Each structure stands twice: as structure tokens, then as C-alpha cells.
């Protein structure tokens, strides 16, 4: 072979080898790059695990390279809180995205357990959210979570029974008692009014609604903690009376949580129920014994006062110790997006914290009552906002429980609350 041809041959051959090597390298990178798996922890959801799986599978399809494993914790907020405190305190990297009750975000942010999300949740976008949850995810000028779904206490009633006896939907607590009693007299075996009275967080949510709708509450006008007010005494006494004097609420309410009451009402055994918005979708499902018979409205107030609902709901945040923070942030953004919040309202019964969704034509068509919920959410009232809230509620729960079961008088319970909470708050000032 002539010298020149030989050189050209080697030049072409080495370029070819280089190209093959580069290609192989790229192929290897793409082929062997393992998909990362992020873990999403959340409480048991209404609507079954399939609905959430479908939502997560779509995220995986849209984000090749990220797999999501969802791990379910018990439904109770108190038990979930305990899980997080133990694991985050130990800097666990076992989960990346976590779902948090409105009452915890400040505590977790203060402890340094959450990744700040200011950049993934920019101020222009925040404006669309209801004020309550937005304030709950903000701690000292930073945001630490994005609201996922919103809750507020509602009154569910049996439309068919009220119509049968030509009785209006009660606007006051007093009216609710007389209406329940009138129907109970005619319809044997029905409970009048059921609510959540077990010694747990749900009880605090219920009690606050009676206190506020009587003109009371735990925080005074000066912003200081003040439990011992005559309005609060009356509110607790009324809850005791519902069970022991008017007998419209069965004693089982003192051990009931959301799902206990939802099951009883959903099987047609009660006239009125206090619960969060999620129950509606379940009552309207095919085969539900109360399908088409249920109305939902704002909670009653004591006569002369205004109705009040406790603000609840869940927010998504990223574990500060996560090994995959970018992927975790992507998942949080996706799950709190307009389209996923809309889908969760329609398929799972969880209501969106994004206000613009209440103007969404399709959502309003499928769930017309959503329009009325807007005002309830806008005015829902928060439990005391404090990084020490969990310590405060550990005081409130047994005292409220003692008052509604008659173990203590309302005055005794409130006095004990005042003494103990004052002590906790001196820690906050330190
Ligand atoms: C619901 C609410 C939550 C509240 C809990 C009480 O999950 O969204 O805020 O703390 O009920 O049981």
C-alpha cells in the first residue's frame, strides 16, 4: 500500500474507533443510568390507594428516570406526627417527600427538618392559594411546604329527612338540637348528631368550632392565650349537654374519629354529622345507601353569633436529609399542580387550596357544591399558630375530653389548660 493511502487509512480508522467509543460511552451512560426512587410518605387516603397510584404513575411517565414509592402511614394525624418526629430527629433519609398537617409545618421548619421551597413555590404562584394554608407553610419569611388539600369543618345533613318533616336546615346549634329531637321521635333507631369526640386532635378541631361560634376562643384580643372565658365554658357545657342532657349525640361520639362518624352517617344511621369535606364523594358513590340524600352546609352558630370552621388540611414538603432533593421537589410541584388538585377533588374528594379552581368550569359542573365551600375555606380559622402547637394540643386533648365526658367541669378543665399552656408559652418566649 502506498504511504499516503496507508496514512489516510489509519486516520479514518482511528476516527471511526473514536466515534464508536464515544457512542458506546453515551449508550452506556443512558442505558445503565439507574432510575432513582424517591419515597413519598402520606397518611391513608380516601378513595383507595389506586387513585393515588394512577396519579403517581403519570408522574413517572412524564419524568423518566424517577420512580416513586408511596408509603402509607395511619390515618390519624397524631400517629403520623409521632412517626415524623422520631425519624426526622434521627435525620432519616428513608423518605423524600412528606405530607404534613397544617399544624406541624412551623414546628418542623423551626427544627430544621424541611428544605425551604421559596424558589419552587414563587410568590406569584402563592397568591392563588387560600390565606390560611399559605400562612401555615410560612415560617419567618420562608415557605417550607406547598398546600396540597384544604379542610374545614362542615355540617352534613339528611336532606330527605328534613324534607319529610318539613324542617329547615338548622342555622343555630339550638335549632339543630330541636330538629334532631323532633326527627328522632318519629324515626326510631336514628342518631341525631354525630361528631369527633375521641381524645385526639380531631376533638380539638370540634371544640374550637363551638367556642368560636359562641364568640370565644383560646386567644384573647391582645393576642395572649386566654382559655378561661365564660364563652368557652358555655361551649364545652353545650357539647357535654349534646350527649348527656339533650341526648341527640350518642355516648359513642366520645370515642369517635372522622371515619367512625363517616361510616355511621354513610350507612344511613344519623341525621346530622360534623366532618371534613372528603366524606361527600364517598356518600355520592354508586351503591352508597345515602346517595342523593345528603346535603352539606356551613356549621351552625349559637344564636346571635357567627358560624366558624376549623382550618385543616395537608401540605407537601421535602425532607432536609433527602438524597434526591431535586426529584422530590419535582414531585411536590406536580402533586400540588392545578391539574392534580382538580383530579383529587373529582376522584378522591380532597378540596383544592388553589382558589382559581373554584372558578374551573368543569369542576363546578361535576361538583356544584364546591362553589359554596369557597367562603367556608376563605374564613376557616386556624388553631393557635405556633411551633409549640403540638405541646399545646397535648394539654388540650385530655382536658377537653374530660369536660365532654363529665369527668371535669368546663371551668376545671379550662383552668388546668390555662395553667399548663402558660408554662409552655414561657418556653416560647425564651
Ligand atoms: C384532618 C385535618 C387536619 C386535622 C385532622 C384532625 O385530617 O385536615 O388538619 O388535624 O383532621 O383529625
Torsion of CA 301, 305, 306, 312, to 10 degrees: -60
Looking at per-residue pLDDT, the higher value among 35 and 34 belongs to 35
Question: pLDDT band at 24, cuts 50/70/90?
Answer: very low
Helix (H, G, I), strand (E, B) or coil at 367: coil
- Residue ending a domain, among 329, 346, 375, is 375
User: Is 328 inside a domain boundary?
Assistant: yes
For residues 395-405, average pLDDT: 98
Torsion of CA 207, 208, 209, 212, to 10 degrees: 130
CB 102 less than 6 A from any atom of ligand 1: yes
Q: Are 104 and 62 contained in the same domain?
A: yes
CB 107 less than 6 A from any atom of ligand 1: no
Check pLDDT > 50 for residue 28.
Answer: no
Check pLDDT > 80 for residue 12.
Answer: no
Q: Which of 391, 398, 400, 401 is nearest to 422 (CA)?
A: 391
User: Is 11 inside a domain boundary?
Assistant: no
Centre of ligand 1 to C-alpha 76, Å, is: 8
pLDDT at 369: 87
What values do phi and psi take at 332, rounded to 5? -60, -45
User: Is 331 inside a domain boundary?
Assistant: yes
Q: Are 247 and 347 contained in the same domain?
A: no
Closest C-alpha residue for ligand 1 atom 3? 312
Q: Are 201 and 281 contained in the same domain?
A: yes
pLDDT at 31: 46
- Four-residue CA torsion sign, 278, 202, 234, 229: negative
CB 202 less than 6 A from any atom of ligand 1: yes
Atom of ligand 1 nearest to the CA of 314: 8
Q: Are 295 and 220 contained in the same domain?
A: yes
Q: How many domains does the chain have?
A: 2
Instruction: Name residue, grid cell 388538585.
Output: 341
Centre of ligand 1 to C-alpha 334, Å, is: 23
DSSP annotation of 190: -
Residues 243-254 as b/e (b if ≥16 CB within 10 A, e otherwise) read beebebbbeebb
User: Is 3 inside a domain boundary?
Assistant: no
Q: What is the CA radius of gyration of the chain?
A: 27
Domain span including residue 99: 36-150+313-375
Centre of ligand 1 to C-alpha 316, Å, is: 15
CB 259 less than 6 A from any atom of ligand 1: no
Q: Are 324 and 282 contained in the same domain?
A: no
Centre of ligand 1 to C-alpha 150, Å, is: 10
For residue 279, the domain's CATH number is: 3.40.190.10
Q: Are 280 and 404 contained in the same domain?
A: yes
pTM of the predicted structure, to 2 decimals: 0.91
Q: Can you read off the three cell numbers belonging to residue 147?
A: 398546600
User: Is 5 inside a domain boundary?
Assistant: no
Max CA distance (Å), the chain: 114
- Residue ending a domain, among 375, 396, 416, is 375
Q: What percent of the chain has pLDDT over 70?
A: 92
Q: Are 94 and 131 contained in the same domain?
A: yes
Check pLDDT > 60 for residue 27.
Answer: no
Q: Are 205 and 232 contained in the same domain?
A: yes
User: Is 242 inside a domain boundary?
Assistant: yes
Q: Are 60 and 171 contained in the same domain?
A: no
pLDDT at 29: 47
- Four-residue CA torsion sign, 195, 293, 379, 214: negative
- pLDDT tens string 152-187: 999 999 999 999 999 999 999 999 999 999 999 999
- Measured CA to CA, the distance from residue 100 to residue 144 in angstroms comes to 11
Q: Are 183 and 243 contained in the same domain?
A: yes
User: Is 272 inside a domain boundary?
Assistant: yes
User: Is 29 inside a domain boundary?
Assistant: no
Check pLDDT > 80 for residue 4.
Answer: no
Q: Are 101 and 177 contained in the same domain?
A: no
Centre of ligand 1 to C-alpha 60, Å, is: 29
Residues 294-333 as b/e (b if ≥16 CB within 10 A, e otherwise) read bebbbbbbbeebebbbbbbbbbbbbbbbbebeebbbbbbb
Q: Are 167 and 118 contained in the same domain?
A: no
Amino acid at each position: 500500500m502506498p504511504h499516503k493511502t496507508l496514512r489516510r487509512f489509519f486516520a479514518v480508522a482511528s476516527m471511526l474507533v473514536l466515534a464508536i467509543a464515544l457512542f458506546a460511552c453515551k449508550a452506556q451512560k443512558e442505558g445503565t443510568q439507574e432510575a432513582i426512587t424517591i419515597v413519598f410518605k402520606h397518611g391513608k387516603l380516601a378513595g383507595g390507594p389506586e387513585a393515588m397510584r394512577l396519579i403517581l404513575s403519570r408522574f413517572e411517565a412524564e419524568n423518566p428516570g424517577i420512580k416513586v414509592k408511596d408509603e402509607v402511614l395511619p390515618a390519624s394525624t397524631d400517629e403520623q406526627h409521632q412517626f415524623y418526629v422520631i425519624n426526622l430527629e434521627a435525620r432519616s433519609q428513608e423518605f423524600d417527600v412528606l405530607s404534613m398537617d397544617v399544624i406541624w409545618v412551623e414546628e418542623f421548619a423551626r427544627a430544621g427538618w424541611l428544605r425551604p421551597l421559596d424558589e419552587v413555590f414563587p410568590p406569584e404562584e402563592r397568591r392563588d392559594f387560600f390565606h390560611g394554608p399559605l400562612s401555615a407553610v410560612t415560617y419567618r419569611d420562608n415557605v417550607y411546604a406547598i398546600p396540597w388539600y384544604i379542610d374545614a369543618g362542615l355540617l352534613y345533613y339528611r336532606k330527605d329527612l328534613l324534607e319529610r318533616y318539613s324542617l329547615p336546615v338548622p342555622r343555630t346549634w339550638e335549632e339543630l338540637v330541636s330538629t334532631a329531637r323532633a326527627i328522632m321521635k318519629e324515626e326510631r333507631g336514628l342518631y341525631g348528631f354525630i361528631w369527633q369526640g375521641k381524645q385526639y386532635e380531631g376533638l380539638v378541631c370540634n371544640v374550637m368550632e363551638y367556642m368560636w361560634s359562641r364568640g370565644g376562643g383560646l386567644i384573647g384580643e391582645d393576642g395572649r392565650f386566654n382559655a378561661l372565658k365564660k364563652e368557652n365554658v358555655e361551649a364545652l357545657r353545650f357539647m357535654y349537654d349534646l350527649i348527656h342532657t339533650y341526648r341527640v349525640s350518642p355516648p359513642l361520639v366520645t370515642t369517635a374519629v372522622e371515619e367512625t362518624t363517616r361510616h355511621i352517617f354513610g350507612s344511613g344511621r344519623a341525621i346530622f354529622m360534623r366532618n371534613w369535606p372528603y366524606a361527600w364523594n364517598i356518600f355520592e358513590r354508586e351503591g352508597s345507601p345515602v346517595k342523593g340524600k345528603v346535603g352539606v352546609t356551613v356549621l351552625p352558630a349559637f344564636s346571635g353569633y357567627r358560624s366558624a370552621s376549623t382550618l385543616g388540611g395537608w401540605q407537601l414538603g421535602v425532607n432536609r436529609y433527602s438524597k434526591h432533593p431535586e426529584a422530590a421537589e419535582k414531585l411536590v410541584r406536580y402533586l400540588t399542580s392545578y391539574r392534580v388538585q382538580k383530579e383529587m377533588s373529582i376522584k378522591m374528594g380532597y378540596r383544592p387550596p388553589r382558589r382559581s379552581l373554584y372558578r374551573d368550569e368543569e369542576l363546578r359542573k361535576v361538583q356544584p357544591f364546591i362553589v359554596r365551600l369557597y367562603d367556608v375555606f376563605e374564613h376557616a380559622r386556624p388553631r393557635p399558630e405556633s411551633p409549640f402547637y403540638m405541646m399545646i394540643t397535648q394539654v388540650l386533648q385530655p382536658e377537653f375530653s374530660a369536660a365532654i365526658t363529665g369527668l371535669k367541669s368546663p371551668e376545671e378543665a379550662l383552668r388546668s389548660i390555662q395553667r399548663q399552656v402558660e408554662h409552655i408559652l414561657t418556653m416560647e418566649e425564651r
